[in-house]
Amino acid sequence: MARIVGGLTTSHIPAIGNAIHKNLFEDPYWKPFFDGYPPAREWLAEVKPDIAIVIYNDHGLNFFLDKQPTFAFGAAPQYTNEDEGWGIPVIPPFKGDPAFSWHLINSVVHEDFDLVTCQEMAVDHGFSVPMQLYWPNFSYTDIATVPVMINTVQHPLPSPARCYRLGQAIGRAVASYPEDKKVVVIGTGGLSHQLDGQRAGFINKEFDLTCMEKIVDDPEYFLDYSIHDLVRLAGAQGAEFILWLTMRGALGGKVKQLHSNYHIPISNTAAGTMVLEAAE
């Protein structure tokens, strides 16, 4: 049977893609951020997951406002990275596992989550940056992926509680997959940041630290929060915390925090990196 071995979090800022391309790992601006990743990579090298479910949001590459799904699951043999317009280098494609994707889709729709399914899907920095951070030098080609896209572009966004429950449904779907696979779930985006409006540059360290504390042992703390609450406390784009909550829902009950790193700022954002190991 398949099982979830743990969860990872990471910001997915496009500037990170550029910094990786330019090898800025030792640059004084970037070092405190990149130093958060080797412990997570060591854990990955130890547990050797077969599949990564990546919870992310599309920022206008695969989806436009003509058709904006709330939840979209990849079901393709391969996911391409493409030109996003402002110059981060296009990187090699990511491997899919259609049989595993369809198992997730069948199971989650059976639990009344209505999804868009994608047999072709371009993935932008929301997906590609986390994959590069956790599997550097394009070593991600060894692991199968399932992109799970959640709308954070156009309101209404799905609530924190809805996303957490979607994660729980994903967790049950993985547990019922008959093949012996180890699965890691990645919650991307966040933490607090705001790109638009006169409050641009808003960062809320106190709230971020609460998020990083509660996501470990008390994720249900956030289930009464509205999207508007998250926008107020974490910034317009900090509402991406729903992607972390989806990951945490998938992990289920108890988890063990193996590593965390928090750094302000990367670009306009407070960056949070965590490794949560699922209980046996």
Partner 1 sequence: MTATQNKEPIFGTPIFDGEAAIKGYALNKMCYSFNGKEARDEFLADQEAYMEKFGLTEPQRQAIRDKVVLDLIGVGGNIYYLAKFAGMFGLTVQDVGAQQTGVTLEEFHEKLRRAGD
In the complex, minimum distance from the CB of residue 112 to partner 1, in angstroms, rounded to a whole number:
24
12 part of the active site: no
Nearest to partner 1 of 59, 95 (CB atom): 59
Residues that bind partner 1 (CB under 8 A): 15, 59-61, 64-66, 82-87, 153-156, 194-201, 203-207, 210, 222, 224-226, 228-229, 231-233, 235-237, 263-265, 267-268, 270
Residue pair 56/142 in contact by the 8 Å Cβ criterion:
no
193 part of the active site: yes
Q: What's the CA angle centered on 210, arms 280 and 10, to 5 degrees?
A: 65
59: left (phi over 0), alpha (psi -120 to 50) or beta: alpha
- Of residues 125, 155, 259, 263, which has the active-site annotation? 125
In the complex, minimum distance from the CB of residue 156 to partner 1, in angstroms, rounded to a whole number:
7
Residue pair 277/6 in contact by the 8 Å Cβ criterion:
yes
Nearest to partner 1 of 68, 98 (CB atom): 68
Per residue, the 3-state secondary structure of 31-99, as one string, reads: HHHHCCCHHHHHHHHHHCCCEEEEEECCCCCCCCCCCCCCEEEECCCEEECCCCCCCCCCCCCEEECHH
Nearest to partner 1 of 89, 142 (CB atom): 89
In the complex, minimum distance from the CB of residue 164 to partner 1, in angstroms, rounded to a whole number:
14
Nearest to partner 1 of 200, 279 (CB atom): 200
In the complex, minimum distance from the CB of residue 68 to partner 1, in angstroms, rounded to a whole number:
8
- Of residues 103, 193, 228, 259, which has the active-site annotation? 193
Distance CA 235, CA 237 (A): 6
Catalytic positions, written as ranges: 125, 193
